[in-house]
Structure 1
Amino acid sequence: MNFDFVTNATAKELEQFKSVCNQLLSRTYIVRTIYQPGKGRVDNPDYLFLSRHYEAVQEYLSLLDWDLRRDELNGYFYVLNTDEANRCNLNKKETAILLALRLIYEENMERLGLEQDAVCTVRDVLEKVVTDYPVFPAKPNMEEVKRAFTVLENHSVIQRLEGKFNQGSCRIAILPTILSAVSSEKLNLVVSVLKKEETDEEAEENPADQLALFQ
């Protein structure tokens, strides 16, 4: 590893270096813009730092068996574990909510602005997992819903804009990171499994097994 950055960095730069690495390892993604109450979308200083010091961070993380990647078009960095370890496996209901978010994002892609966030409500998402893909009962347990949304926010797939996750009126932004969290291939696979379960309750396939995320 080339230690030039570590050797020449200021104390402030080293602190941000550590912060950025820890964020990537715990949250998987770092996005170009973030929402701040009263300001709306603002540039993310950690994204700008990564843009400037991409190679230094990439080399450091590679020592820990993590591969740093970037999607400049959609505005985010993310990591994959080269040993396929440290995966976050979602349960069936969390997977269904992720699927619904991906479908909503897909439906809105043509209308997205430069920030590339699709804004919706928790109610919009529940309509898909209660009606379109009936994984949740007609009156879902909102604490389960809250836990699922919290997991996805912790991994920078969504960001809460207003309200609480256990409220139907809660507004959320679906971030472009969802495009790598659920590829088109995985989207089609999980949809087919969910549809199969609608007609065969004893189907062996579990969508949660098909979708191991945040590697």
Structure 2
Amino acid sequence: MDWHREYTAWTDRDREEFARIVSVLFEQTFLVRDIWDAKERRTVTNRDYRFAERVLPVLQSYLSVSGFLLQVDGRRGVMALYNRFGRNRMRLDKLTTYVLYTLRLIYDEQMEQASMRREVVIPLRELVGKLHTLGLIDRKLAVTNLERTLNRLRQRSILARVEGNVQDLESRWLIYPSITLLVSDERINVIYDRFKVDSLEPSDGQEDEDVSDLDADDEGAAQ
């Protein structure tokens, strides 16, 4: 499409909003339709997502010029940005990779339990317990060591803290449906196979792994 012609026909306000949304996508990779509002104490419609949805053809055409594709899952209410050349890769340590894998398992389990469920909210204790059960972390791993990982996933719109302190096992966390794009169905087995040969390094010496913003490959254990 001739995105530029349509873009120039917009109001200044819409063009400014468009620029801001592009920046948000590059910053956090994901846009989620229903986000947690700490003041309202509930999920609310994300205005950024709705704007992106309204201008989607222009947004996708604009991004494609720079080699980026915008994946849209309208059913789950998630948009995800990734580079079609496999560039703009971020690095994930093994703990973060394990946490992502475990969050995906928990998300699927919770969604299967109630057909009408729209949100998955869990205590941090459940995540840590699942990591232990799967043999992915050592019993000696302190909850504080998860803080960096949890905050990183919050910034990427994978998680939202609903209640409590980030270091509190009783704190409650909302898992956004973006986890299903980040750790896709096709990558679950790949990640599991890696767990068979990898072991979790001490927290002060964890080895980083290259992963793309969406696609996992043989060098990227989670995405």
Q: How does the TM-score come out when normalised to structure 1?
A: 0.86
Q: For 1:78-89, list aligned pairs within 5 A.
A: 78-89=80-91
Name the structure 2 match of 1:60: 62
Offset, 1:131: 3.1
Shift >4 Å, 4+ stretches: 112-115, 206-209
Offset, 1:114: 6.0
SS where residue 191 of structure 1 aligns?
Answer: helix
Q: Is the 8 A contact 1:181 1:213 kept in 2?
A: no
Unmatched runs of 5 consecutive residues or more in structure 1: none
Name the structure 1 match of 2:147: 146
AA at the equivalent of 1:93: L
Q: Is the 8 A contact 1:123 1:169 kept in 2?
A: yes
2 CA distance for matches of 1:78 and 1:26?
11
Aligned-pair RMSD on alpha carbons? Answer: 2.3
Q: For 1:26-175, list aligned pairs within 5 A.
A: 26-39=27-40, 40-111=42-113, 116-135=118-137, 137-175=138-176
Name the structure 1 match of 2:220: none
Given the superposition, is the C-alpha separation of residues 213 and 172 from structure 1 closer, same or farther in structure 2, using an over 3 Å criterion?
farther
Count, aligned residues = 207
Offset, 1:153: 1.3
Q: Is the 8 A contact 1:95 1:207 kept in 2?
A: no
SS where residue 169 of structure 1 aligns?
Answer: coil
Offset, 1:159: 1.3
1 CA distance for matches of 2:156 and 2:116?
22
AA at the equivalent of 2:78: Y
AA at the equivalent of 1:27: Q
SS where residue 194 of structure 1 aligns?
Answer: helix
Q: Is the 8 A contact 2:88 2:212 kept in 1?
A: no
2 CA distance for matches of 1:13 and 1:144?
42
Offset, 1:184: 1.9
Q: How does the TM-score come out when normalised to structure 2?
A: 0.84
SS where residue 79 of structure 2 aligns?
Answer: strand
Q: 1:5-47 deviations in whole A, cap 9, x for unaligned?
A: 3312222212211111111111111011111124211111111
Q: 1:51-74 deviations in whole A, cap 9, x for unaligned?
A: 110011111111221111210111
Offset, 1:197: 4.2
Unmatched runs of 5 consecutive residues or more in structure 2: 215-223
2 CA distance for matches of 1:72 and 1:112?
20
Q: Is the 8 A contact 1:117 1:173 kept in 2?
A: yes
